[in-house]
Amino acid sequence: MKTRLYNARILTMADDAEPFRGELWTDGGRIIFAGTDQEAAEKRRLPGDLSFDEEIDCSGNLLMPGFKNAHTHSAMTLLRSRADDLPLDKWLNEQIFPVEAKMTEDDIYHLTKLAFLEYLSGGITACFDMYLTPRSIARAAKDAGFRMVQVGAVNNFSQSPELVEEMYRELNGKDPFNSYIIGFHAEYTCSRDLLEKIAALAEKYKAPVYTHISETAFEVAGCRERYGMSPVAFLDSLGMFRYGGGGYHLVHVDDDDIEILKERGMYAVTNPGSNTKLASGIAPISRYLTAGVPVAIGTDGPASNNALDMFREMFLVTGLAKLKDNDASSVDAAEVLKMATVNGAHAMGLDDCDTLEVGKRADLIMIDLMQPNMQPVNNIRKNLVYSGSKSNVKLVMIEGDIRYRDGEFFIGESPSDIYAQAEEIKARIDREMKEQKA
């Protein structure tokens, strides 16, 4: 598929490049041109075949890299608004885990597709997913044409280091929509022996590791009681992060923790919507930036957030930082936009999906600037963070194929069928839960 997008504003997110008016061309899933109108005209005058399968008039709207949701649990769509207004420990142990125990691989396949609809409508072109059945999740991504990076979710109750290694070998390099990174659920859900096995895998493959870290003060206190160290320091003492990686949440950290993150080249993946709803606290984003620790953004799952909306997350990242620091200049919105695109791509190992440049994968979105919340056009980066919303997303392209356009989805299955599957799964599990209690 060869596509020409013209009459556009283009924000490449490469370095500090300003938006410009121009064209972007794709071929075979890659960007083959991104330049000004003048550069495009000059290129079209050169000899050679410049025919396109589709030419799209962007009508002055903005092309930019898609958002990268750097932490989520997609199939928890089943649990949206089912277990709200509870602290994290009760939320997990009394509400989430019992329902998850009844979810099948096929359930997770369909529920993951439901999340894809929400991602696409909000301009998300890739997600960093931690959940229970890697193969069915990978199948959902391939069938829908959605870019999925999975991370190991091993804990004392499900998955295993052996499965993590198997998935690491099986899902990397097989198709453009799936990849896999070594990981585990959290220190507090894993025995020391289990953690040491994951660290050994990281050493074997010279690979980064990701996990939930220091989400709550309760978690940190528990780790200190068990091992005499913070979760960051304890996991690092096992050699867990010798080859980098990162932590989801990282709300409750001290200066020594931040120094470890910096030294190991780790990413802090912040989840402000979830942390706000569960009253976990506000991550020290400005301290990470000052220390040189790269920050990416995730929505977390639809049971704890409950929206898979990167526009809301971007606003919360900078808004909460300003409150925490008592400084209206804290955490510049332009830096937040970088977290949601470039940094997220790098955290997920998607280095060829980060910017709109020649040779990069054609994962992009079109933002409708012809709406009241985007006018007048003063500063596009900051307007996206402070004023943008999902309603501004007109088009989403992944691997050169349009997956969402003006409210219509192109993922090989109708939304109504996906919704019906989710309702059937919900009804069955509700029956099973009632029968169990009877």
Count structural domains, the chain: 2
Domain end among 331, 347, 363: 347
pLDDT of res. 258: 98
pLDDT in tens, 320-329: 999 999 999 9
277-289 average pLDDT score = 96
- One domain for residues 380 and 297: no
Angle in degrees, CA 303, 128, 169, rounded to 5: 125
Domain extent, residue 398, equals: 2-65+353-409
- One domain for residues 376 and 292: no
- One domain for residues 21 and 79: no
Domain end among 317, 347, 377: 347
436 lies in some domain: no
Is the CB of residue 330 less than 8 Å from the CB of residue 338? no
Does 431 score more than 90 pLDDT?
Answer: yes
360 lies in some domain: yes
Q: What is the DSSP letter of 19?
A: P
- One domain for residues 93 and 226: yes
Does 169 score more than 90 pLDDT?
Answer: yes
Does 48 score more than 90 pLDDT?
Answer: no
pLDDT in tens, 371-427: 999 999 999 999 999 999 999 999 999 999 999 999 999 999 999 999 999 999 999
pLDDT in tens, 361-383: 999 999 999 999 999 999 999 99
Q: Which among 309, 231, 246, 236 has a CA at the least distance from the CA of 274?
A: 309
> Which positions ≥6 away from 54 have C-beta within 8 Å?
1, 2, 3, 4
pLDDT of res. 219: 97
- One domain for residues 166 and 40: no
pLDDT in tens, 114-165: 999 999 999 999 999 999 999 999 999 999 999 999 999 999 999 999 999 9
For residues 379 and 122, what is the distance between their CA atoms, to the nearest angstrom?
21
- One domain for residues 123 and 38: no
